[in-house]
Structure 1
Amino acid sequence: MARRRRARVEIIGLERLERRLAEIVPELEAAAKAELENAGAAMVADVRRNVRVDSGNLRSSVKATPEKDGLRVSVGWRDQDDLYAVFHERGTRRTPANPTLIPALERAGKEFVARLRAEVRRRL
């Protein structure tokens, strides 16, 4: 039976790779925050195009609000006067549903993933 020998592998430049990866993390986080901001703006524009218009209040008051960490964004209506938006989104007995937030999220989400992937590849 043949005797097994142990192989020794030495990785040259591992420290440099670790330093570079540590430098890239903040860059990638900044890129993700910027792309999330763009996605929020795209969703707001999409909702404004597709929301049902009577007085124009829902169209003008939809907002993208970034969360504290900057890695989340909320899109919707925040004012007390906009509570009726839920009736437009879900519908009532007399008013058919006109969902705008979920379809806007689906469209913006696909674009966001593609743009973020391209940005990560560019920075790497």
Structure 2
Amino acid sequence: MSELIGAPVYGPDGERIGVVEDVRLAQDGPPQGHLHTRIRVAGLIVAPRRHVRLWGYERRPDIGPWLIRAIVRRLSHGAHGVRWADVRWDPVAGVVHCRLPKRALSAAYDLPATP
């Protein structure tokens, strides 16, 4: 996962969408032992520039002090949620290719916890 953070993301037409700022995980895979299920990558948060700090408020925009939520939303403007099913990771080149154009992506707040 650390290789994904900071990787550039490009759309199907070669347009630069941004960089990977966060990796969303879902714990809904097949059972692993008797206590836990496996964790899988559910999606990526892609920001227009590096080091957009989201502080976790983008995960649940309905919680926390309103002023903090407003500031975080302003700072994270332009961040997109991309489902893992919509990307192809090229570890050799260190690049993520998205099958959807930038205009078709959801705001980071709209990325479901589990697609």
TM-score (norm 1): 0.23
Q: Highest CA radius of gyration, 1 or 2?
A: 1
More strand per residue: 2
The answer to which structure, 1 or 2, has the higher relative contact order (CA under 8 A, 6+ apart) is 2
